[in-house]
Structure 1
Amino acid sequence: MRRIYFLAVGLLSMAAANAQVSFGQMQNQIPRSKEGINVFDVQKDDKEFKGLSVDLGGAFNMDFQAINSFNDQPANFPAPSKITGYRLMNTENNFVLPAADMTIGAQLFDGVRVNLDIYLASRHHNDTYARGGYLQIDKLDFIKKDFLADVMKYATIKIGQMENNYGDAHFKSSDNGSTLRNAFVGNNIMNAFTTEMGIEVYYNRNGWVSMLGATNGNLNQGTQEVIYPTLSPATPDANTSVSPTILAKFGYDKQINEDLRVRLTGSYYHNANLGNSNLYSSSRSGFGFWGVLNNSAYKNNGVDVASSYNSTSTPEATFNPNFKNWATSYMINPFVKYKGFEFFGTIELASGGDKAGVDDKRTADQYAGDIVYRFGKTEQFYIAAKYNTVSGKLSNADAKKVTVDRFESSVGWFMTKNIVAKLDYVNQNYRDYTQFIGNVPTGNANNFYGGKFNGLVFEAAISF
């Protein structure tokens, strides 16, 4: 943490000592304020390069949560399960741990800038650490003046460890302290988010948008050999290598007239040999609803069982299909804005290996749609509603698919373009989950059996 402070102080000192260094003269950058809402992918602008310039930004949020959890598990299980003392943990109506981010960037050359994103305080890690960093190239003048200028007028290259551009939903989602662009508190239930080392090449022209990218498939970087233990004599070994991830996006985005904008994109993600993480388990900052559907400690056949157990091994209110060996996902995102009305949708079809060492296909499907109405002189107020549903088997051996659905509504006020306050109502339900995990009926109780939670969250966020 101290090193980050020292770096910030050093940048300020450098600017004071060297008049050639300026602040905030950044090219081709998506604003972190209200002005960045509904700006997707990358953008080009005509800002003049005025020499080396430094960018320093931050994002903070604070939530007050009043949510209750319920399920269909009885307080004391009858024989022969011999599980006693089980109950969901009560959650207080109180503030949750705030989150904070820092962004450090620099305009290094005409059409070339670097960006470093840092989680200062996040709920799933105790220390400050880098979320990612990348180089964005919009001109190749560092090779030769006007080199491939006709191509680079429409093209952008991003290289580094960065938030990979799969789908459009992540542009409207919360990430740690950066929650200003999300009209709600929650993200999609099956949250597609990862940061991997790679390259993305964009070509956007006359309303057509396209991107082709590749990463090394690793969330945590390293050169060590990947070795998994043999699962059992009856199953083959799990993957012992990690394949590159292939990303692609294609669509159309056009401001038809002063009042109407229409956008439609399709995105593709594929990894032939997954590592220890996947697209739906890679968020390291947590999610919007805290402590829901967690249980107090209880005894299973006289043995103490740890608290906070749930069947999908994902944080709180999300769904992770937990694909193994390989994974492929498609996402379609329509977006329409007419005056103050906005509609954004997600159709996501995901598939992957059933379990470690088994390539048999398993699927999970997600559908989401939200409507936002923005009003006021600068559209500083909004009301919004969203419905999201996910269904899929947790294993091919399961008799039924499980389903998770959520209704969410929100009202918000942008006090300035950098400050927003929102009040969010959520109601999320889990269907067709089994009563026990493991040996039936003596396994661990499943918190998602008949599970649901609902309540209110008040969130205040700042981003600059």
Structure 2
Amino acid sequence: MKKSIFIIAGILSLTYADAQVSFGKMQNMIPRSKEGLNVFDVKKDDVPFDGLSVDVGGAFAMQFQGLNSFNDQKEGAYTLPNGATIYGAAGTTGYRLNNLGNNFNLPAANFTLGAQLADGVRVNLDIYLSSRHHNETWVKGGYLQIDKLDFIKKGFMEDIMKYTTIKIGQMENNYGDSHFRRTDNGNALLNPFIEANIMDSFETEMGMEVYYNRDGLVSMVGITNGKLNQGVAEFVPSAATPTAPDPNTTVSPTILAKLGYDKQLNQDLRVRITGSYNHNANMSANPWGSDRAGSRYFGVMSHQAYTYDSNGNAPGGDNVQANNFDPAANATTGRFSPGYANWYTAFMINPFIKYKGLEFFGTLEFTSGGDKKGTDDSRSVDQYAADLVYRFGPTNQFYVGARYNIVSGELSGAPQKVDVERFETSAGWFMTKNIIAKLAYTNQNYSKYSQFSGNSLNDLYGGSFNGLMFEAAITF
């Protein structure tokens, strides 16, 4: 936090050293206010360049959570696959899910710093000041956005750059359209619900994306180095084993692409549909488990500490399963990751239709991947989501909405496909274009999960959670 204060103080001092420095005159930037609703792509505008300008922004969100978790694990003695016995009698040695109180979660906060450096060239830096996954200050990423090449020569390739944008840096991968409607830590203004999709694709990697958007055409190609955590350390392959005789010897780049159509057909009707591609042949990071912030559903489907006895004796045994409630260590409760360990290929289709105040947004995601190079068959996980939102009021400041989301697929080592299903309803009020209040009800169910996970009881066996959540958020 102190570092952020020093940065702001340094920027403010520039205004005294150079009278040409201004604030807020930024080009081609998606608004962080209510005006940014349903803006999915980089945008071109006619904001003039008046010299160096600085952008300072932030976001803050807090939630009151009233959720309860359940599963089909019963009290009593269980025999594990390895012959050990778990005792579920009352007391410290018994298995049970954590009881969740009705109270406030850890508030989330973001800090954004940017600058217009030249005509058509700006830089952006995003920082998480507080998040579930990283309670400390953490840099999400930063990038350079180029909309003109006048720094090379006045008018250089202006006919092409009129429709082209180049982004370079450690930034959020533009895979699909769902991530434009998700909550990004403290920035919750553009999400009509409390959480993102069950299978939430969100990752920041070092790379470049090139956009070409013209007359309804939406297109993007990108490439990254495939690493969430940057570094130059030598890649040391895993030792070969009988089940994995051909381990990875490198980390491959991530390939991204998007193609679609987006048109305001008349004053009332807008139609958009995009298809996106995401592939890595030798992965280092998992796109469905790389969020630095974490989910909004704190502690759901987590267990208290319990013991089991590998010799089958009375309770008070020789092995302990720790309490896994910890919000930072277990930061993705309520979400699902396919857990691919070696490679993946993913496609996402997102239709969006807006007619007056009514909005429909859908997600069809098809993924496949493998866990050991060249030795195992690919498995697949698919996701379907649809939300309907109706906005009303003199400035569309009120809305009601509902979302249905299902994930179905194969987990590594699991005997059968599993399903996760969520239904969420929401109502919201934009008090101003920078302040929102939301109330949502969520009901999520897990089916076809095994009773045991390795030699532990599976928290998701017959699992479910439900309840109400309230969220208030400010973004500027």
Q: TM-score range by the shorter chain?
A: over 0.9
Tell me, yes or no, if the aligned pair for 1:362 and 1:393 is still in contact at 8 Å.
yes
Query: Shift of the alpha carbon at 1:2?
Result: 1.1
Q: Name the CA shift for 1:309/1:81 in 2 (closer, same or farther; >3 Å).
A: farther
Structure 1 residue aligned with 2:433: 417
Question: Structure 1 residue 149 and structure 2 residue 145: aligned?
Answer: no
| 1:173 corresponds to 2:182 | yes
**CA separation in 2, counterparts of 1:90 and 1:181?**
31
Q: By how many angstroms is 1:3 displaced?
A: 1.4
Q: Is the 8 A contact 2:237 2:250 kept in 1?
A: no
CA displacement, residues 22-69 of structure 1 (integer Å, 9 cap, x when unaligned): 000000000000100100110000110010000000011000000000
CA distance in 2, matches of 1:203, 1:359: 38
- Residues 110-143 of structure 1: CA deviation (Å, up to 9, x unaligned): 0000000001111111321210000000000000
Aligned CA RMSD, in angstroms, stands at 1.5
Deviation at 1:368, TM superposition (A): 0.2
3-state secondary structure, aligned to 1:87: coil
Q: What is the identity, as a one-letter code, of the residue corresponding to 2:343?
A: W
Q: Which residue of 2 aligns with 1:334?
A: 351
Normalised by the length of structure 1, the TM-score is 0.96
Shift of 1:400: 1.4
**C-alpha deviation, 1:406, in angstroms:** 0.1
Among the aligned pairs, what percent are the same residue? 62
Aligned-pair CA distance for 1:425: 0.5
Length-normalised TM-score, structure 2: 0.94
176-185 or 79-88, which deviates more: 79-88
* 1:377 is the counterpart of 2:387: no
What is residue 273 of structure 2 aligned with on the other side? Answer: 264
- Any idea what the Cα deviations from partners look like across 1:284-331, whole Å, max 9, x if unmatched? 101111110100000122211112189xx8720111001121110000
Deviation at 1:239, TM superposition (A): 1.4
Give the aligned partner of residue 317 of structure 1.
Answer: 334
1:390 matched to 2:393: no
How far has the Cα of 1:228 moved from its partner? 4.3
Shift of 1:78: 4.1
> Paired residue for 1:274, among 277, 280, 283?
283
| 1:225 is the counterpart of 2:234 | yes
Trace 1:28-43 onto structure 2 (pairs within 5 A). 28-43=28-43
Structure 1 residue 405 corresponds to structure 2 residue 421: yes
Task: Output the CA distance in 1 between the equivalents of 2:382 and 2:469.
Answer: 27
Tell me if structure 2 keeps the 8 A contact 1:309–1:447: no
Correspondence for 2:304 among 296, 301, 318: 296
Partner of 1:18: 18
Q: Is the 8 A contact 2:363 2:385 kept in 1?
A: yes
Q: Give per-residue Cα distances to partners, 1:75-127, cap 9 Å, x unaligned.
A: 23345652120000101100000010000000000000000000111111132
Question: In the TM superposition, what are the counterparts of 1:36-435 in structure 2 within 5 Å?
Answer: 36-79=36-79, 82-84=85-87, 85-230=94-239, 232-275=241-284, 277-301=285-309, 302=317, 303-308=319-324, 315-355=332-372, 358-395=375-412, 397-435=413-451
SS at match of 2:378: strand
Secondary structure of 1:318's counterpart equals coil
Q: Hey, what's the Cα distance between the residues in 1 that align with 2:252 and 2:278? A: 13
Q: Is the 8 A contact 2:299 2:325 kept in 1?
A: no
SS of match in other structure, 2:5? helix
2:294 maps to a residue whose letter is: G
- Whether the 8 Å contact between 1:436 and 1:445 is mirrored in structure 2 is yes
CA 1:149–1:118 in 2, change beyond 3 Å: closer, same or farther?
Answer: same
Which sits farther off after the overlay, 136-145 or 11-20? 11-20
Secondary structure class of the residue paired with 1:196: strand
Q: Which runs of 5+ in 1 are unaligned?
A: none
Partners of 2:131 and 2:262 in 1: CA distance = 34
CA displacement, residues 363-397 of structure 1 (integer Å, 9 cap, x when unaligned)? 000000000000001100000000000011102x5
Matched residue, 2:474: 462
d(CA) in 1 for partners of 2:247 and 2:59? 40
Instruction: Tell me the distance in 2 between the aligned counterparts of 1:290 and 1:399.
Output: 29
Tell me the residue number matched to 2:464: 452
Residue 436 of structure 1 corresponds to which residue in structure 2? Answer: 452
Alpha-carbon separation, structure 2, partners of 1:52 and 1:153: 22
Rounded Cα–Cα distance in structure 2 between residues aligned with 1:170 and 1:373: 20
Give the distance between the partners of 1:20 and 1:174, measured in 2 at CA: 36
Alpha-carbon offset, residue 226 of structure 1: 2.1
Instruction: Specify every segment of 5 or more residues in structure 2 that has no aligned partner in the other structure, as ranges.
Output: 88-93, 310-316
Shift of 1:360: 2.1
Give the Cα–Cα distance (whole angstroms) in 1 for the partners of residues 205 and 348 of structure 2.
19
8 Å Cα contact 1:69-1:451 kept in structure 2: yes
CA distance in 1, matches of 2:322, 2:456: 10
Cα distance in 2, alignment partners of residues 173 and 309 from structure 1: 24
Contact 1:64–1:458 (Cα < 8 Å) also in 2: yes
Deviation of 1:231 after TM superposition, in Å, equals 5.8
Structure 1 residues 234, 359: CA separation in 2 closer, same or farther (over 3 Å shift)? closer
Mapped contact 1:314–1:320 kept (Cα < 8 A): no
Q: Distance in 1 between matches of 2:235 and 2:471?
A: 41
Compare 183-192 and 14-23 and name the one that shifted more: 14-23
Q: Distance in 1 between matches of 2:77 and 2:233?
A: 46
* Alignment-mate amino acid for residue 434 of structure 1: S
Contact map agreement 2:133 2:331 (CA 8 A) in 1: no
What is the Cα deviation at residue 355 of structure 1?
Answer: 4.6
